[in-house]
Amino acid sequence: MGRQESARGGCMVVKVSNLVKRYGDLIALDHFQLDVAQGEIFGLLGPNGSGKTTAINCILSLLNYDKGEIEVFGKKMTPSSYDIKRDIGIVMQNVAVIDELTVYENIDYFCGLYVPEKRLRKELVEEAIDFVGLGDFRKFYPKKLSGGLLRRLNIACGIAHKPKLIILDEPTVAVDPQSRNNILEGIVRLNQQGATVIYTSHYMEEVEQICTRIGIMDKGRIIALGTKEDLKGMIRVGEKITIEFLTGNPQDHVEWVQELPFIASVTTQNNNLLITTERGHNGLGSILSAVHDRGIHVGRVFCELPTLNDVFLEITGKELRDQ
């Protein structure tokens, strides 16, 4: 079977059609569809329990499924598709290393399952150590590493054999901000070196930061798909403006603000007035001008662009970050 072309023009690396996976009465994946093209960093974003990890495990043939088709590199994926597996690198949500082996030995052990040739493997292991910045820790045992360093080791074990497809399943859970940034930068570098990346997370900021295309998941389905700009373009909301009132009741100002042009909604929260503008319109200037004309004294004023959480909120009616 030849490689298929994606709608975006690149070769299809992963193609999932109508995937259904049930756990008893619970439908974990409900006719799940996914196309990932070569060279992408595809983000699978969704709250905990939305089916991201289940989808990944099905794609990797770890989990059996009730219905659907999965192709990786244009071939049907099965548990014994060793030629396909050879080109896949996986970084699991849980750290999967051997406590009794050092950093170097862990990477060498897992890399050795893909690369039997010793000399080549040595080079790859050294590259992976440099890549994740564990050069000073090569003789450390995992228990001596901090949470962030442990995550980096987990990544090194998954990518040392230079896979063409790298799947990272929530690799930054419980990681400090500095290590998180290192990990995210590393993923971008892997992609620049030619790897296609599937990145699952429930942190929308991470997905926004690195992913070229994003699929938002809920209840086992992809409910929105596209670039972050595409996704934000799907919703009604433009900007979110917050005005803090130092005196008076913000409720008194709801009515006149609502009459300003391009205002989508006005609500209050404590001393704050929360205003959303219509998509594609900048309302901050006109609002501030009106406030000034009325001689109202205000405190802090914030203006935010819509986030993927707003996209999720508008599509599902619930907050992504609250899940």
Partner 1 sequence: MFWHIFKYRLKSTVRDVQTIFWTLAFPIILVSFFAMAFSNLENISEYKTIKIGLVNTQQYQKNTVFQSLITAVSKDENPLFDVTMYDTQKAAAAALADKQISGFILEDDTLHLTIRSAGIDQTIMKEFLDWYLQTASSVNNIIAADPAAGMKISGIMSENITYIKDTNTGTNKPNNVFTYYYALIAMTCLYGAFMGTKEVTAVQANQSAQAARLNLAPVHKLKVFLSSLCAVTLIQYLSILLLIAYMAFVLKIDFGNQIGYILLASFAGCCAGVSFGAVVGAATKKGEGIKTGIIISASMTMSFLAGLMAAQMKYMATKSFPILAYINPANLIADAFYALYYYNTYDRYFLNVGLLFAFSLVFYLIVFLLMRGQQYESI
Q: How far is the CB of 148 from partner 1 (least distance, A)?
A: 18
Rounded to whole angstroms, the Cα distance separating 122 from 124 reads 5
Angle at 208 between CA 202 and CA 214, to 5 degrees: 75
Helix axes 103-112, 147-159, angle to 10 degrees: 30
For β-strands 237-245 and 75-76, DSSP reports them as unpaired
* Complex with partner 1: residue 98 or 246, whichever CB lies closer: 98
* Complex with partner 1: residue 79 or 135, whichever CB lies closer: 79
Q: How far is the CB of 104 from partner 1 (least distance, A)?
A: 12
Q: How far is the CB of 133 from partner 1 (least distance, A)?
A: 21
* Complex with partner 1: residue 110 or 312, whichever CB lies closer: 110
Residue 22, number of CB atoms within 10 A of its CB: 14
* Complex with partner 1: residue 84 or 241, whichever CB lies closer: 84
Helix (H, G, I), strand (E, B) or coil at 271: coil
- CA torsion sign, 11 to 45 to 191 to 61? negative
Eight-class DSSP state of 140: -
* Complex with partner 1: residue 10 or 74, whichever CB lies closer: 74
Q: How far is the CB of 96 from partner 1 (least distance, A)?
A: 4
Which DSSP string do the residues of 219-267 spell out, in sequence order? TTEEEEEE-HHHHHHTSSEEEEEEEEESSS-GGGGHHHHHTSTTEEEEE
Q: How far is the CB of 53 from partner 1 (least distance, A)?
A: 8
* Complex with partner 1: residue 113 or 246, whichever CB lies closer: 113
Instruction: Give me the residue label for tokens 């001596």.
Output: 144
Q: How far is the CB of 79 from partner 1 (least distance, A)?
A: 4
Q: How far is the CB of 291 from partner 1 (least distance, A)?
A: 55
Helix (H, G, I), strand (E, B) or coil at 165: strand
- The residue type at 40: E
* Complex with partner 1: residue 114 or 245, whichever CB lies closer: 114
Q: How far is the CB of 141 from partner 1 (least distance, A)?
A: 8
Length of the chain: 323
Write out the residues near partner 1 by the rule CB under 8 A: 23, 57, 60-64, 79-80, 82-83, 85-86, 88, 90, 92-101, 105, 108-110, 112-114, 116, 157-158
- Which phi and psi (to 5°) does residue 321 adopt? -75, -15
Rounded to whole angstroms, the Cα distance separating 143 from 135 reads 17
Q: Answer yes or no: are the C-beta atoms of 290 and 260 closer than 8 Å.
A: yes
* Complex with partner 1: residue 105 or 126, whichever CB lies closer: 105
